[in-house]
Chains A and B, each alone.
Chain A
Amino acid sequence: EIVLTQSPVTLSVSPGDRATLSCRASQNVRSSLAWYQQKPGQPPRLLIYGIITRAIGVPARFSGSGSGTEFTLTISSLQSEDFAVYYCLQYNNMPPWTFGPGTKVDLK
């Protein structure tokens, strides 16, 4: 089973800041890495898949990068609606599909 670790656990930022979130996989997941955003009381929302492809309706300030075992989600200029928990998912070596433990982005 591929284990995903995310850092930091919490990222405190101000609106307009650039936010960089990391996801590390225990094995090579090739291009099968996705990112999700979850707000309280809501289900996860797909943001990025295939490392770099934004899902339909996702603003351009969200971008993904990385390869192999190291991946990054960048929010170029944080908006108030971006405060949430962000999860990475690997879907290369499944079952099982595995999620990271999440990074909470909150207000500094």
Chain B
Amino acid sequence: EESLVESGGDLVQPGGSLRLSCAASGFTFSGFWMHWVRQSPEKGLEWVSRINYNGSVTTYADSVKGRFAISRDNAKNTLYLQMSSLRADDTAVYYCTRDRSAPFDLWGQGTKVTVSS
């Protein structure tokens, strides 16, 4: 069965850092572009970042550019999101999702990030 499982969410102080992970199984991870999407009551669903098959191409939303870094390890079937200089408005549930012929056709259950002092 195809699945994505996120981890790493936590309560962190403003200005802090956090690394999220997303473990993929049941499909050929290296065959998909991967994305992070976040959801908060204030902003709804918001696309955060994208990475291509081998990690050579990355793209970011303006709201996280320069603060977040997406990466992947195809040998470990794992996607990452390194988040730094966190702000209160980064508080959200973070989902990983995949993209190929159909957009965002598989999602993880999400991991919650709370930025608060």
Interface residues of A (CB under 8 A from B): 32, 34, 36, 42-46, 49-50, 53, 55, 87, 89, 91, 94-99, 101-102
Contact = CB atoms under 8 A, between A and B. Distances in A.
A95 B61 contact: yes
Contacts of A53: 102
Range, interface on chain B: 20 to 34
Interface of B: 35, 37, 44-47, 50, 59-62, 95, 97, 102-105, 107-110
A45 B102 CA distance: 12
A8 B76 CA distance: 44
Contacts of B60: 95
22 contacts: A32-B103, A34-B103, A34-B104, A43-B110, A44-B45, A44-B95, A44-B107, A46-B102, A49-B103, A49-B105, A55-B102, A89-B103, A89-B104, A91-B103, A95-B47, A96-B47, A96-B61, A97-B37, A97-B47, A99-B44, A99-B45, A99-B46
B45 A55 contact: no
Given A96-B47, A97-B47, A55 B105 contact: yes
Nearest to B46: A99
A73 B19 CA distance: 37
A57 to B, nearest CB: 11
B59 A95 contact: yes
Nearest to B96: A43
Contacts of B109: 42-43
B3 to A, nearest CB: 11
Contacts of A36: 104
A82 B17 CA distance: 39
B102 A43 contact: no
A98 B35 CA distance: 13
Contacts of A50: 102
A32 B102 CA distance: 10
